[in-house]
Amino acid sequence: MMKTPLVIALAMVAAGCGSLTETSASQILSSNLFTPSNAGLLAGSVVADFECAYADYAAATGIVSDELGDAQLSQAVWDYDRRTLHNTSPLVDNTCPNSTQGPGVWAPLSTARFDGDNLLGLLNGWTNAQVANRVQLIGQTAAYTGYALTLMGETMCAGAVDGGPKLTPDSLLGLADTHFGTAITNATTASDASTLTMAYLGRARERLDRGKAVEAAADAAQIPPAYVKVATYDASSTRRENRIWTIMWRDFFFTVDVPFHHRLYDTSATTIDTVVHGTDTTIGPVHHGVPDPRVVVDSEMKPGGGAVIGPDQVTAIWGEQKYQSISDPIPIGHYSEAQLIIAEAQLKAGNANTAINIINALHAAAGLPPYNRTNNPDSVMALIINERAAELFLEGHRLADMIRYGQTFIPLYPAAGMLFKDGGTFGTQLCFPLPVIENGT
């Protein structure tokens, strides 16, 4: 079933006002709110809902994947970090905003999706005479709703929409495809280049997820150099915070996990190896390499010396350097992602050298040496996956990549069956189960 949103975020779009208010849906009369004169306000609310959900999603998927590790004293995210999620876990269904201890997935994305589809229904019933920029608003709302459905399809084990039956991840991605098509059509009509590019990249992403590499590459080819679409954040409320930053630099609840410490581009091997020094465990063979500037991670130090330890009094906090403040934006999509989609499509079409050329262009932009070794398809695929790990670090892609590519290319870390620091053992559950409150099973 589809959960009715508990909170509607109202974007204050008056000049000079960048704050948000959070108003209980039960305190708002639909006859007062859902009117043509409020169309722009409602469209801003859909964006705000998605941005809140996206910050939670980036944190939650980071902890289930190998990007982040738990450092809390409580069991708030043990099931995330242990990969032992189940359909009665409150974590997946936590609303947005929630405490940084337990970022939600299903409820925040469902809220963004529901509000987006609700507004699309209203906009389709209103006229251009009633709503200024109506066609543009349809395109924008469809694009953000398509992204919410894409994230669901990438990492939910199943989904449900508006009280309907349980849906497979592929079905959720198919709904995203329809929304992106709507966004492309309306953004083209409205000459809205920003939404048009966002929709093309979103559709490329979900089509690659669905194995439609040729179609994905065609969409990705529409993305211009230097393009980046971001979710914006600030310190005005918990709802607006960059939660990757707050969980690590303010609250010390999460740490960057071992596979992303000392990330190197290794000039003597076929892929990027992760080299960990000091008291940590070395992952893979140790080679001499060049530090990858796209993944900068440092051990956090106390002013008087010594490493910062998390609330569990065990875990040293390794802090990401990608987001420097509570207000830093989180990329939703950008040019390098599009190029990696094209590289993967080229490799699957048998053009390994073309894929390598794309990787080398990204290396040149990052100041890294070129890849000039084997063009064996498996080696190049491993290279592309490692490039995605670096280019898309802490942007909400890693868990979906682990699900899509499988353990042949991305082994589980730590391995299943290893002891978890707070009890139990690591499991193999990567996708988020549909909460029991949604389908009763």
pLDDT tens, residue by residue, 328-372: 999 999 999 999 999 999 999 999 999 999 999 999 999 999 998
**Mean pLDDT across 197-223:** 98
pLDDT at 18: 31
pLDDT tier at 436, thresholds 50, 70, 90: confident
pLDDT tier at 130, thresholds 50, 70, 90: very high
Is pLDDT of 415 > 60?
yes
**Which one, of 20, 167, 65, 24, lies nearest residue 106 by Cα?**
167
d(CA 90, CA 104): 8
Is pLDDT of 92 > 70?
no
pLDDT tier at 282, thresholds 50, 70, 90: very low
Say what percent of the chain tops pLDDT 70.
Answer: 85
Burial class (CB in 10 A: 0-12, 13-18, 19+), 125: exposed
pLDDT at 99: 62
Stated as kind and residue range, the H or E segment containing 265 is strand 264-266
Instruction: Please check whether residue 153 is in contact with residue 119, taking contact to mean a CB–CB distance below 8 angstroms.
Output: no
Query: Per the structure block, which two tokens stand in for 108?
Result: 């925040």
d(CA 426, CA 298): 25
**Mean pLDDT across 428-434:** 94
Q: What fold does the segment set 7-221+231-235 form as a domain?
A: 1.25.40
pLDDT tier at 142, thresholds 50, 70, 90: very high
pLDDT at 94: 75
d(CA 152, CA 171): 10
Instruction: Please check whether residue 387 is in contact with residue 340, taking contact to mean a CB–CB distance below 8 angstroms.
Output: yes
pLDDT at 17: 30
